[in-house]
Amino acid sequence: MKSVKLGTGLAFWGDSLRPAIDMVERADIQYMCCDHLAELTMAILSKQKSKNPDLGYTTDIIPFLRGVLVKCRERGIRIVTDSGGANPESCGREVVKLCQELGLYGTKVAVVTGDDIMDRIDELMAEGVDFINTDTGEPLSTVRDRVTQANVYIGSEGIVRALEQGADIVICGRVTDAALYLGPMIHELGWAMDDWEMLGAGTGIAHCIECGGQATGGLYSGGWQDQPNLVGLGYPVTTVFENGEAVLSKTPQTGGSVTVGTVSEQLVYEVMDPANYLSADSNADVSQIRLEQIAPDQVKISNITGKPAPATLKVNMGYRAGFVGEAQFTYTWPDAVKKAKAGLAFLADRLAQVDFKASETRIEYIGHNSMWGPEVIAPPEDPDLAEIVVRFAARCPTKADARKVFTESVPLYNNGPAGAAGIGTRPPIKELYGIWPCLIPREYISVTTTITEVQPEAEGAEP
């Protein structure tokens, strides 16, 4: 039976390089797949691109490739990544330059585009795409003038095409996380693009491994204390078979473990209806999945299926949504709680004096209720607490308003109730982006794959 061996290289922007380096040295993988993009990442990357047209990709791809690429080329390991983010073309050019620097001539670098619809929004609306918010039912006009970025979660077709054309490195923008893995599966296992059962199985398998160490003992609530060598955690190495089954393992001689428990926790991570796991390539059904420990650190995955892919694709659209201002301060015994509340009142009065505007504020007591807030755990009352940390956050219409939160908290050091400390230094003001969830019929999207073969720089062959 045909099979393909896929390695998970990076699982988020800023992930450590060590697991990938360990993997290319010790595991016999054919592909290394890397996901760098979360919901907010595209908004951040688009902002970078708007300031500098050469930026807008996740720059960690360069040190990553510097660490693994020579070995990958030696061993014929192909790399599939969404590090192109908001600017796959620019990312492609940087990767070509890196190949030249490393002398890796002949390397084929593919760039997959077609996900970015920012410049087409009005034209698409004129053609009848409504971009209605799928959560709230609101029309796009609610936020249209604040939209900074619009990317469609495209499927695996551009990746499959790149691999068919011999690409060694495939750089995508906003493809689905699953497509990074499904592309190589389709290419190697010969699945048809409408073999819904297999594409569903592949999508479900991809979901189990796309978050790297979260499937191999990282973040494992079922027994974190039993995971060996978490600092040397091994990332998933997965053999996928043409019948839609897989064996999930990890790089030999690394930390963590692969058990039914660790894989189960990852399976339920960020899943809505498990019988309808919607993706660009399929509507996967993982509800009847079977997991079986077949050897130490080897879990067999089976019984995932799928239905036809949805007629629409999901759009990730970001819009400017104000700024967040934060202040944090600590009070100590005696009367820590009373003083904390007096300190908050002091801050509120000072903010009122400077015409502070906020659409929403939040108070959390760190060490007491900061993870769930007052909705779940009432503010502290214990008069004997040794210390309590207060966090005050506000969503503000302007950066100037957001800045006032910290500025007006500083006098707590000298002028407020006794025993304040830990106010910290002035934090950077974070701009907020809302995500506008909406759909687009797939016929409006066409995916392009462009391949550049790396030549010595003097002869120049830029993509």
Give, for 361, the enclosing helix (H) or strand (E): strand 360-366
Beta carbon nearer to other proteins, 110 or 247:
247
Give the Cα separation of 152 and 312 in Å (integer): 10
Of residues 242-301, those binding other proteins (CB under 8 A) = 260-261, 264-275, 286-291
Residue 144 binds other proteins (CB under 8 A): no
CB atoms inside a 10 Å sphere around CB 392 = 21
Residue 391 binds other proteins (CB under 8 A): yes
Residue 390 binds other proteins (CB under 8 A): no
Give the Cα separation of 403 and 421 in Å (integer): 20
Q: Is 176 helix (H, G, I), strand (E, B) or coil?
A: coil
**Are the C-beta atoms of 48 and 56 separated by less than 8 Å?**
yes
| Partners of 305 in beta bridges | 285
Among 51, 119, 294, 372, binds other proteins (CB under 8 A): 372
Least separation in angstroms between residue 300's CB and other proteins is 12
Piece in contact with other proteins (CB under 8 A), picked from 57-65, 159-167, 338-346, 371-379: 371-379
Among 6, 167, 321, 420, binds other proteins (CB under 8 A): 321
Q: How many residues interact with other proteins (rule CB under 8 A)? A: 54
Among 9, 114, 184, 318, binds other proteins (CB under 8 A): 318
User: The tokens of 150 are what?
Assistant: 């619009």
Least separation in angstroms between residue 394's CB and other proteins is 7
Give the Cα separation of 453 and 141 in Å (integer): 44
| Partners of 396 in beta bridges | 323
Least separation in angstroms between residue 375's CB and other proteins is 4
* Buried-state track 413-432, b at ≥16 Cβ within 10 A, e below 16: eeebbebbeebeeeeebebe
Among 362, 407, 423, 427, binds other proteins (CB under 8 A): 362
Residue 455 binds other proteins (CB under 8 A): no
Beta carbon nearer to other proteins, 79 or 393:
393
Residue 135 binds other proteins (CB under 8 A): yes
Piece in contact with other proteins (CB under 8 A), picked from 158-166, 191-199, 201-209, 369-377: 369-377
Among 364, 401, 416, 445, binds other proteins (CB under 8 A): 364
Of residues 71-130, those binding other proteins (CB under 8 A) = none
Beta carbon nearer to other proteins, 30 or 264:
264
Among 371, 384, 414, 443, binds other proteins (CB under 8 A): 371
Residue 401 burial by CB count (10 A; 0-12/13-18/19+): exposed, middle or buried? Answer: buried
Beta carbon nearer to other proteins, 192 or 371:
371
Closest to 46 (Cα-Cα) out of 107, 12, 90, 96: 90
User: The tokens of 195 are what?
Assistant: 């073999």
Strand 312-332 to 283-285 pairing: unpaired
Of residues 393-422, those binding other proteins (CB under 8 A) = 393-395
Least separation in angstroms between residue 392's CB and other proteins is 10
- Cα angle value 371/210/268 (rounded, 5°): 50
Over the window 422 to 451, marking each residue x when it contacts other proteins by CB under 8 A and - when it does not, the resulting string is ----------xxxx-x--------------
Of residues 186-245, those binding other proteins (CB under 8 A) = 214, 219-223
421-424: long-range contacts at Cβ-Cβ below 8 A with a sequence spacing of 24 or more? 421/329, 421/330, 421/332, 422/328, 422/329, 422/330, 422/389, 423/327, 423/328, 423/329, 424/328
How far from the centroid of its chain's Cα atoms is residue 51's Cα? 22
Query: Residues in the site for other proteins, rule: CB under 8 A?
Result: 39-40, 43, 135, 214, 219-223, 260-261, 264-275, 286-291, 303, 318, 321, 324, 360-362, 364, 366, 370-373, 375-376, 391, 393-395, 432-435, 437
